[in-house]
Amino acid sequence: MIIGLTGKNGGGKGEAVKFLAERGFVPLSLSDVLRDEARSAGQPVTRDVLVELGNRLRKESGPGVLAERIFARLDPEKNYIIDSIRHPAEAQVFRRRRDFSLVHVQGPQRLRFERLRQRGRENDPRTFEEFLALEAKEAASPDSDHQQLDRTISSADATLENGGPLRDLHEKIKRLLLDFSKKELRPDWDDYFIGIAKMVALRSNCIKRKVAAVIVKDRRIISTGYNGTPRGVKNCSEGGCPRCNNLSASGKDLEECLCSHAEENSITQAAYHGVTIKESTLYTTYSPCLICTKMIINAGIREVVYNVDYDLAERAKALLEEGGVVIRQVAIAQPLAA
């Protein structure tokens, strides 16, 4: 789970970070990116310097640049609490992960000013008028690459009202996390098996294209296959296939190709181990060719689910339909991982 925080000064974002960090969330802040930049440039780490530096980086490298640097650090197996999201493009970077939620932490203006005054940092506003002027400056800018706090707040998935004691804020955070945890983040079965097929494809030794197929029955994998030279024959990547090693143009010199296709291998592997694949579903990273299609039909496979269209597959698709095999294309959903 990734929780991003946005909101105006004194709202309580720091308290939310502290509370979740104590419960195993890894704290990160876009402001830390700016602090590192300021230090490396020998500049003082003040609010004005950080705002100016952030605006310059967004102008030079795009409005999502700070988020991109944080996003690159994320481990899909950890929970994160990310502070200081101040531009809609920054939130959009994190939305590549389906487990991201943006939370607006807010409180009454007077109370937020009092919190800043009690905090007593050197660069915090000393009067309420200075506080209001700072809020107006940070809320929006005519330059779309600059900080756009109001627009970011309006894109939040939830709001935490922080106008009372800390224990109330903590209870609200707990309830919010329970709500977020109810989101359906698990991949559906199509995503699951296509995702596994993509991993299986990494075992392919073909130098032209890596393809894999997974045969499934009752939501259980019963056979896998990836494209490559036959058992006991020198691998394609080691010079075993003349067509691939000659880098023949797509669709040309197919008669010289010694590589077995992924679907073909998944079917023959099942036969090799005596596993029946009748009435099964074949998941494949590419739609099958005509030769594999004939094997699929004759093997009794009832459904083919594929991710990407194979260039020469139109006749094969028509034959699958004529043979009574259901064929579906799925675009695999965005993974939780980066």
| Residues labelled catalytic | 263
| 72-to-2, 171, 193 alpha-carbon distances in Å | 14, 31, 26
Distance of alpha carbon 179 from alpha carbon 46, whole angstroms: 37
The SS3 assignment for 328 reads strand
According to DSSP, residue 146 is labeled: S
Tokens of 90: 């920054």
* Partners of residue 180 on adjacent β-strands: none
Beta carbons of 190 and 306 less than 8 angstroms apart? no
Distance of alpha carbon 193 from alpha carbon 187, whole angstroms: 9
Distance of alpha carbon 205 from alpha carbon 235, whole angstroms: 6
The position carrying tokens 């998941």 is 283
- Picking from 195, 225, 199, 8, the residue whose alpha carbon sits closest to that of residue 113 is 8
Q: Which amino acid does the sequence have at 188?
A: D
Distance of alpha carbon 65 from alpha carbon 60, whole angstroms: 9
Q: Please give the radius of gyration of the chain, using alpha carbons only, rounded to the nearest integer.
A: 28
Phi-psi region of 324 (alpha: psi -120 to 50; beta: other; left: phi over 0): left
- List, in sequence order, the alpha helices (H) in 120-245: 128-139, 149-154, 166-181, 189-201, 242-245
Beta carbons of 94 and 16 less than 8 angstroms apart? no
Q: E strands along the chain, which residues?
A: 2-6, 26-29, 80-83, 100-106, 158-161, 212-217, 220-226, 281-286, 303-308, 326-329
